[in-house]
Amino acid sequence: MSSEQQRFPCVLAFDLGASSGRAFVGEIVPGSPGDSPGAGPGTTGVRKLNITEIYRFPNVPVQIGGHLHWDTPMLLREIKTGIRKAFQAGYRPESCAIDTWGVDFGLLDRNGELLGIPYHYRDRQTEGLVEEVSGLVGAERLFRESGLQFMPFNTLYQLYAMKKAGSPKLDLAETLLLTPDLLSYFLTGRRVCEFTMATTTGLFDPGRGTWNVSLMELLGIPGEMFIDPVSPGTVIGELTAEVCAELGVPPIKIIAAASHDTESAAAAVPADSPAFAYLVSGTWSLLGTQMAKPLLTPAVLERQFSNEGGVDGTYHLLKNIMGLWILQECKRKWEQDGEAYSFAELVQLAEQAEPLYALIDPDDLRFMNPADMPEEIRSYCRETGQSVPDSPGAFARCILESLALRYRQVLEQAEELTGSRFAGLHMVGGGIQNELLCRFTAEAIGRPVWAGPVEASAIGNLLVQLRAGGWLKDLQEGLALVKASFPLQVYEPGLEERQAAWAAAYERFERLGRSMKC
């Protein structure tokens, strides 16, 4: 497409996940007459959002000595390549934004140089620190002043691990930048902290809407590193002259989207009701619902839900669930052992395997980062007195069915906490390409699953940029665009006998959780 042909607003989104990154161009275009009810010949239908993936690259962590790191220089190089490819393809994006996973960060010294290679959230340095910090601070205070589920990878625990290890980087650091803000800094030279990312750290107090300096002081974490957060849609700056010269492109604006990929995805959920539940499915699964303000009750602490910031000052009550990481790691181990399966093959084998044969709790921390995921599943099944999966298909079915049952459990907990009853579950993200998981989820929860869009994080990123550029008046107009552009796949619960089998399996699943806590 040449620049002469382009007539529509165009923006560029980078969506970085735990295993890959993608660059998408988004354009608002007129729909065909048939897209709008009652539109006759010569009329224009509703507008649509066209998205085009122009670049994809792997995101592989690096083990250096005893620590696991992100290859941050590689990520910067690939983002630059994506920007160049957009212009080479004839697009002229008006802006660009980056969304990534939460919690991880880089430290800059007083000269603006990166201090070391950022740690990966699965690095083992934080093992045992959830309990230690809770003992120092008190679990009730810690939750009340962070609003977060106690997960060992939260920024708070990473910084506390560095403090305990006597890391000199903390003494030299002038600024802490979370991953998307760090990458944007390398492109613009401007330092910002985006709101949705700030709320993933465990050091931002959602009740006060400020950084929790007193908690930082208690834990020995330097508070002067933290920048006041900016809202999604804030213009960070333009590509520096050096980056423009390197890539051979004109300066374009870099925008802080809802930079946490979960919140970008939530901004693209095409719900018809303001009270809806969603599941972002991928390496991680995140199940939640949008709220006007954080919910910081003892019941939320007991259930270990998080309050994470969203677009327009909203909060999302959600829970992290281990997700398809477990299947990915089984696949990786089998490949190491000389048995290579595609994900499509594993799903096909799972469909042929015996239903509800063995179950696991996906959120047992043994599944966080083991050397041998299949063996961890075997051990769990033995310890809980279950039959042990004996084939890749049986393993895959065990994982997918267990995830579906965990989704039911968390969905019902979210309803208890909010006093809402959700008609069904919106599933978005790459995991919905696994139709068997979507079908199992509908059967497990006994309600419809509305699946789509797949690229929700990138779409939410694009919507925030389009609104910042004045092409959308608000996100409701953006969601109308999503509904017109990306049809949903609906999965209904199974027949009565299937529902009875899933109900019995759910009772087993809940007993397993109770038995492992004893």
By annotation, the residues acting in catalysis are 261
Tokens 């609003």 correspond to what residue? 147
DSSP state letters, 203-237: -EETTTTEE-HHHHHHHT--GGGPPPEE-TTEEEE
Strand ranges, E, within 179-335: 193-194, 204-205, 210-211, 229-230, 234-238, 253-256, 277-281, 285-291, 306-309, 315-321
- Phi/psi region, residue 189 (left: phi>0; alpha: psi -120 to 50; beta: rest), is left
CB-CB contact of 260 with 316 (8 Å):
no
DSSP states of 195-210: HHHHTTSS-EETTTTE
Token pair, residue 87, equals 């212009």
Cβ–Cβ < 8 Å for 306, 317? yes
- Give the amino acid at 114: L
Cα four-point dihedral sign 403, 406, 411, 417: negative
Place of tokens 């051979």: 248
CA 142 to chain centre: 23
**How many whole angstroms from its chain centre is CA 380?**
27
Only one residue has tokens 């000199």, namely 168
Given a contact cutoff of 8 angstroms between Cβ atoms, the answer to whether 490 and 449 are in contact is: yes
CA 382 to chain centre: 32
- Phi and psi at 120, nearest 5°, equal -90, 140
In contact, 13 and 99? CB cutoff 8 Å = yes
Distance of CA 303 to the CA centre of its chain: 20
Output phi, psi for 295, to 5 deg: -110, 110
Strand partners, 193: 229
Largest CA distance in the chain: 72
Contact residues for 237 (Cβ-Cβ < 8 A; gap 6+): 188, 189, 190, 253, 254
Amino acid at 399: I
Contact 196, 263 (CB under 8 A): yes
- How many residues are recorded in the chain? 518
Q: Which residues pair with 236 in a beta bridge?
A: none
